[in-house]
Structure 1
Amino acid sequence: MQKSLRTPRQMLLQSLLVEARKAERLTQAELAGLLNKPQSFVAKYESGERRIDVIEFVDISAALRIATGDILAKIKPEIGPRE
């Protein structure tokens, strides 16, 4: 399986998180403050310089007041269901 740092699905996740942050009218610094992280943390995952893990994703989603499932539903799996 290919690393997901620069794949279309990873870039979609990045854009969905940026869109959600802007919808909440938060700057990167404000979101970082809610997460108790430096502003560079937000800048790096939004630009694709770093990936976020599932725990970070849950925390980011909560800070943005968006359900994790709503974001994940927009990202299609690369494999189909097993028969």
Structure 2
Amino acid sequence: MLVEKREAIGLTQTDLAAKLGEYQSFVARLESGQRRVDVIEFIDLAKILGFDPSVAIKRLAAEPD
């Protein structure tokens, strides 16, 4: 979902990392599932990428494992 949202607004991993105050490798680990997103990071990502975090959580909760 993060990749989809990031690409939809035309950001690279490097762009998103800069907005988060992190390195590109941090974003790569998030997007690949190597690192989990905590609640604060998720809200920051939602603000930057322009999505409603509560809707996203409902969507993710409804997806099969």
Structure of higher RCO (CA pairs closer than 8 Å, 6+ residues apart):
1
* 2:56 maps to 1:56: no
- Corresponding residue for 1:28? 13
Instruction: Report which of the two structures shows the higher radius of gyration computed on alpha carbons.
Output: 1
| Structure with the larger helix share | 2
Q: Quick one: distance in 2 between partners of 1:58 and 1:38?
A: 18
* 2:50 maps to 1:65: yes
- Counterpart secondary structure, 1:52: coil
What is the alpha-carbon root mean square deviation over aligned residues?
1.2
Percent identity over the alignment is: 45
Q: How many residues align?
A: 62
Gaps of 5+ in 2: none
TM-score, normalization by structure 1: 0.69
Gaps of 5+ in 1: 1-15, 78-83
